[in-house]
Amino acid sequence: MSRMGRVRSETSAGWRSFVRRRTAVFFTFFFPVILIVIFGALIRTDPTGGGLFTEPPAFYVPGYLAVVVLFTPLSRMGSEVARHREGSRFEKLATTPLGRGEWLLAQTVVNAAIIGLASLLILGLVIVLTGASIVFSPLLVPYVLVGVVCFCGVGAMLGSYTDSQDGAVAASNGIGLPLLFLSETFVPLSQLPAWFEPLVHLSPLTYFARGVRAATYSGAETPAVAGIDPAIANLAILAVLAVLAFALGARSIPQTD
Protein backbone atom coordinates (compact mmCIF):
# COMPACT_ATOMS: atom_id res chain seq x y z
CA MET A 1 0.00 0.00 0.00
CA SER A 2 1.29 3.46 -0.88
CA ARG A 3 1.87 6.16 1.75
CA MET A 4 -1.23 8.01 0.57
CA GLY A 5 -3.25 4.81 0.85
CA ARG A 6 -1.99 4.17 4.38
CA VAL A 7 -2.85 7.70 5.49
CA ARG A 8 -6.27 7.51 3.81
CA SER A 9 -7.06 4.20 5.50
CA GLU A 10 -6.01 5.46 8.96
CA THR A 11 -7.95 8.70 8.42
CA SER A 12 -11.10 6.75 7.61
CA ALA A 13 -10.66 4.61 10.73
CA GLY A 14 -10.04 7.70 12.88
CA TRP A 15 -13.16 9.43 11.58
CA ARG A 16 -15.35 6.39 12.27
CA SER A 17 -13.88 6.13 15.76
CA PHE A 18 -14.77 9.78 16.46
CA VAL A 19 -18.31 9.51 15.10
CA ARG A 20 -19.01 6.46 17.27
CA ARG A 21 -18.21 8.46 20.43
CA ARG A 22 -21.40 10.46 20.72
CA THR A 23 -20.32 12.26 23.88
CA ALA A 24 -17.15 13.49 22.19
CA VAL A 25 -19.11 14.65 19.15
CA PHE A 26 -21.62 16.49 21.34
CA PHE A 27 -19.11 18.38 23.46
CA THR A 28 -16.83 19.20 20.53
CA PHE A 29 -19.62 21.35 19.09
CA PHE A 30 -21.50 22.18 22.30
CA PHE A 31 -18.66 23.77 24.30
CA PRO A 32 -17.90 26.66 21.88
CA VAL A 33 -21.62 27.25 21.41
CA ILE A 34 -22.02 27.70 25.17
CA LEU A 35 -19.15 30.21 25.23
CA ILE A 36 -20.70 32.24 22.43
CA VAL A 37 -24.10 32.25 24.14
CA ILE A 38 -22.62 33.28 27.50
CA PHE A 39 -20.07 35.86 26.39
CA GLY A 40 -21.58 37.01 23.12
CA ALA A 41 -25.33 36.91 23.70
CA LEU A 42 -25.77 37.17 27.48
CA ILE A 43 -22.85 39.22 28.81
CA ARG A 44 -22.38 41.06 25.50
CA THR A 45 -19.65 43.54 24.68
CA ASP A 46 -19.56 47.17 25.75
CA PRO A 47 -17.23 49.15 23.48
CA THR A 48 -17.92 52.40 25.36
CA GLY A 49 -17.56 51.05 28.89
CA GLY A 50 -14.96 49.34 31.05
CA GLY A 51 -14.16 45.77 31.97
CA LEU A 52 -13.11 42.77 29.95
CA PHE A 53 -15.39 42.79 26.90
CA THR A 54 -14.84 46.37 25.78
CA GLU A 55 -14.21 45.70 22.09
CA PRO A 56 -16.75 45.27 19.26
CA PRO A 57 -18.08 41.70 18.80
CA ALA A 58 -15.93 41.03 15.73
CA PHE A 59 -12.79 41.54 17.82
CA TYR A 60 -13.51 38.30 19.69
CA VAL A 61 -13.99 36.06 16.65
CA PRO A 62 -10.39 34.72 16.93
CA GLY A 63 -11.09 33.82 20.55
CA TYR A 64 -14.20 31.83 19.71
CA LEU A 65 -12.40 30.02 16.89
CA ALA A 66 -9.42 29.40 19.17
CA VAL A 67 -11.64 27.37 21.49
CA VAL A 68 -11.89 24.55 18.94
CA VAL A 69 -8.56 25.14 17.16
CA LEU A 70 -6.74 24.87 20.48
CA PHE A 71 -8.73 22.60 22.79
CA THR A 72 -9.94 19.95 20.34
CA PRO A 73 -6.46 18.95 19.07
CA LEU A 74 -4.87 19.14 22.52
CA SER A 75 -7.50 17.01 24.25
CA ARG A 76 -8.25 14.60 21.38
CA MET A 77 -4.63 14.01 20.36
CA GLY A 78 -3.40 13.85 23.93
CA SER A 79 -5.99 11.29 24.99
CA GLU A 80 -5.68 9.35 21.71
CA VAL A 81 -1.92 8.93 22.03
CA ALA A 82 -2.25 8.05 25.72
CA ARG A 83 -4.99 5.52 24.91
CA HIS A 84 -2.81 3.90 22.25
CA ARG A 85 0.06 3.70 24.73
CA GLU A 86 -2.11 2.10 27.43
CA GLY A 87 -3.41 -0.47 24.96
CA SER A 88 0.07 -1.17 23.51
CA ARG A 89 -1.31 -0.20 20.11
CA PHE A 90 1.89 1.50 19.01
CA GLU A 91 3.68 -1.83 19.39
CA LYS A 92 1.19 -3.30 16.94
CA LEU A 93 1.54 -0.32 14.60
CA ALA A 94 5.31 -0.82 14.64
CA THR A 95 4.77 -4.15 12.88
CA THR A 96 2.90 -2.43 10.01
CA PRO A 97 4.19 -0.13 7.26
CA LEU A 98 2.35 2.82 8.88
CA GLY A 99 4.93 5.25 10.29
CA ARG A 100 4.51 7.53 13.30
CA GLY A 101 4.41 10.63 11.11
CA GLU A 102 1.79 9.04 8.85
CA TRP A 103 -0.34 8.09 11.86
CA LEU A 104 -0.15 11.64 13.22
CA LEU A 105 -0.95 13.07 9.78
CA ALA A 106 -4.08 10.89 9.53
CA GLN A 107 -5.24 11.97 12.99
CA THR A 108 -4.55 15.60 12.06
CA VAL A 109 -6.74 15.29 8.95
CA VAL A 110 -9.58 13.95 11.11
CA ASN A 111 -9.17 16.83 13.55
CA ALA A 112 -9.06 19.33 10.68
CA ALA A 113 -12.38 18.03 9.33
CA ILE A 114 -14.02 18.17 12.77
CA ILE A 115 -12.68 21.64 13.55
CA GLY A 116 -13.57 22.95 10.11
CA LEU A 117 -17.22 22.02 10.66
CA ALA A 118 -17.15 23.46 14.19
CA SER A 119 -15.61 26.71 12.89
CA LEU A 120 -18.41 27.16 10.36
CA LEU A 121 -20.94 26.69 13.15
CA ILE A 122 -19.10 29.20 15.35
CA LEU A 123 -18.93 31.88 12.66
CA GLY A 124 -22.64 31.49 11.92
CA LEU A 125 -23.59 31.76 15.59
CA VAL A 126 -21.33 34.76 16.18
CA ILE A 127 -23.03 36.64 13.34
CA VAL A 128 -26.56 35.66 14.42
CA LEU A 129 -26.19 36.07 18.20
CA THR A 130 -23.77 38.99 18.47
CA GLY A 131 -24.33 40.87 15.22
CA ALA A 132 -20.58 40.88 14.53
CA SER A 133 -19.51 42.37 11.23
CA ILE A 134 -16.99 39.87 9.86
CA VAL A 135 -14.86 40.08 6.73
CA PHE A 136 -14.83 36.60 5.18
CA SER A 137 -11.22 36.35 4.11
CA PRO A 138 -9.89 33.32 2.20
CA LEU A 139 -7.05 33.27 4.73
CA LEU A 140 -9.44 31.87 7.34
CA VAL A 141 -9.12 28.38 5.87
CA PRO A 142 -5.30 28.15 6.01
CA TYR A 143 -5.29 29.71 9.48
CA VAL A 144 -7.60 27.01 10.82
CA LEU A 145 -5.70 24.23 9.05
CA VAL A 146 -2.25 25.42 10.13
CA GLY A 147 -3.50 25.97 13.68
CA VAL A 148 -4.84 22.42 13.79
CA VAL A 149 -1.50 21.02 12.59
CA CYS A 150 0.35 23.01 15.24
CA PHE A 151 -1.79 21.97 18.19
CA CYS A 152 -2.12 18.36 17.03
CA GLY A 153 1.67 18.20 17.29
CA VAL A 154 1.54 19.67 20.80
CA GLY A 155 -1.26 17.27 21.75
CA ALA A 156 0.78 14.32 20.52
CA MET A 157 3.64 15.39 22.77
CA LEU A 158 1.30 15.69 25.77
CA GLY A 159 -0.05 12.20 25.15
CA SER A 160 3.46 10.80 24.77
CA TYR A 161 4.90 12.22 27.97
CA THR A 162 1.97 12.01 30.39
CA ASP A 163 1.31 8.79 32.28
CA SER A 164 -2.37 8.20 31.40
CA GLN A 165 -5.39 9.45 29.48
CA ASP A 166 -6.52 11.39 32.54
CA GLY A 167 -3.09 12.95 32.79
CA ALA A 168 -3.16 13.92 29.12
CA VAL A 169 -6.58 15.57 29.46
CA ALA A 170 -5.49 17.37 32.63
CA ALA A 171 -2.31 18.59 30.93
CA SER A 172 -4.23 19.80 27.87
CA ASN A 173 -6.62 21.78 30.09
CA GLY A 174 -3.76 23.13 32.19
CA ILE A 175 -1.96 24.39 29.08
CA GLY A 176 -5.01 25.29 27.00
CA LEU A 177 -6.85 27.53 29.46
CA PRO A 178 -3.95 29.98 30.05
CA LEU A 179 -3.18 30.07 26.33
CA LEU A 180 -6.83 30.72 25.46
CA PHE A 181 -7.11 33.86 27.55
CA LEU A 182 -3.51 35.14 27.44
CA SER A 183 -2.78 35.02 23.69
CA GLU A 184 -4.56 38.20 22.51
CA THR A 185 -7.81 36.30 22.00
CA PHE A 186 -10.30 37.64 24.54
CA VAL A 187 -7.91 39.92 26.45
CA PRO A 188 -6.14 42.69 24.47
CA LEU A 189 -2.42 43.12 25.08
CA SER A 190 -3.09 46.59 26.49
CA GLN A 191 -4.93 45.05 29.45
CA LEU A 192 -1.99 42.86 30.43
CA PRO A 193 1.04 44.04 32.45
CA ALA A 194 4.04 45.16 30.41
CA TRP A 195 6.31 42.45 31.86
CA PHE A 196 3.98 39.74 30.50
CA GLU A 197 4.24 40.84 26.84
CA PRO A 198 7.32 38.70 26.00
CA LEU A 199 5.42 35.61 27.22
CA VAL A 200 2.48 36.43 24.93
CA HIS A 201 4.85 36.33 21.97
CA LEU A 202 5.89 32.77 22.87
CA SER A 203 2.37 31.42 22.34
CA PRO A 204 1.53 30.02 18.87
CA LEU A 205 -2.08 30.97 19.56
CA THR A 206 -1.05 34.65 19.64
CA TYR A 207 -0.13 34.52 15.96
CA PHE A 208 -3.34 32.68 15.15
CA ALA A 209 -5.42 35.33 16.95
CA ARG A 210 -3.55 38.28 15.46
CA GLY A 211 -3.73 36.92 11.94
CA VAL A 212 -7.39 35.92 12.07
CA ARG A 213 -8.26 39.32 13.55
CA ALA A 214 -6.30 41.13 10.85
CA ALA A 215 -8.07 39.07 8.17
CA THR A 216 -11.64 39.25 9.50
CA TYR A 217 -11.95 42.44 11.56
CA SER A 218 -11.80 45.74 9.69
CA GLY A 219 -11.02 47.64 12.90
CA ALA A 220 -7.98 45.53 13.80
CA GLU A 221 -4.86 47.45 14.78
CA THR A 222 -2.43 44.59 14.24
CA PRO A 223 0.92 46.07 13.15
CA ALA A 224 2.70 44.89 10.02
CA VAL A 225 5.70 42.59 10.48
CA ALA A 226 8.78 43.71 8.55
CA GLY A 227 6.48 45.64 6.21
CA ILE A 228 4.43 42.53 5.39
CA ASP A 229 0.66 42.46 5.72
CA PRO A 230 -0.05 41.23 9.27
CA ALA A 231 -2.51 38.57 8.09
CA ILE A 232 0.19 37.04 5.87
CA ALA A 233 3.09 37.56 8.28
CA ASN A 234 1.37 35.95 11.25
CA LEU A 235 0.30 33.01 9.09
CA ALA A 236 3.93 32.48 8.04
CA ILE A 237 5.09 32.52 11.68
CA LEU A 238 2.32 30.13 12.67
CA ALA A 239 3.24 27.81 9.79
CA VAL A 240 6.86 27.61 10.95
CA LEU A 241 5.72 26.81 14.49
CA ALA A 242 3.26 24.22 13.11
CA VAL A 243 5.98 22.39 11.17
CA LEU A 244 8.20 22.34 14.26
CA ALA A 245 5.38 21.16 16.56
CA PHE A 246 4.29 18.45 14.10
CA ALA A 247 7.84 17.15 13.70
CA LEU A 248 8.41 17.04 17.47
CA GLY A 249 4.99 15.45 17.99
CA ALA A 250 5.68 12.70 15.45
CA ARG A 251 9.12 12.09 16.95
CA SER A 252 7.70 11.84 20.48
CA ILE A 253 5.16 9.12 19.60
CA PRO A 254 6.61 5.85 20.95
CA GLN A 255 7.17 2.89 18.68
CA THR A 256 6.88 0.60 21.70
CA ASP A 257 5.76 1.24 25.27
What is the structure's pLDDT at 245? 96
**Per-residue pLDDT at 206:** 94
The predicted structure's pLDDT at residue 13? 80
Cβ(159)–Cβ(80) below 8 Å: yes
What is the mean pLDDT of each successive set of 10 residues along the chain, which is 257 residues long?
78 79 71 73 56 74 90 89 83 80 91 90 85 85 96 93 86 90 85 87 93 85 73 93 95 78
pLDDT of residue 55: 76
pLDDT at 228: 82
Give, to the nearest 10 degrees, the angle between helix 230-252 and helix 204-216.
150
DSSP 3-25: HHHHHHHHHHHHHHHHHH-HHHH
With both helix axes pointing from N to C terminus, report the angle between 204-216 and 140-161 in degrees, rounded to the nearest 10.
Answer: 160
* pLDDT for residue 181: 85
Domain-wise residue ranges, the chain: 3-252
In this prediction, residue 49 carries a pLDDT of: 53
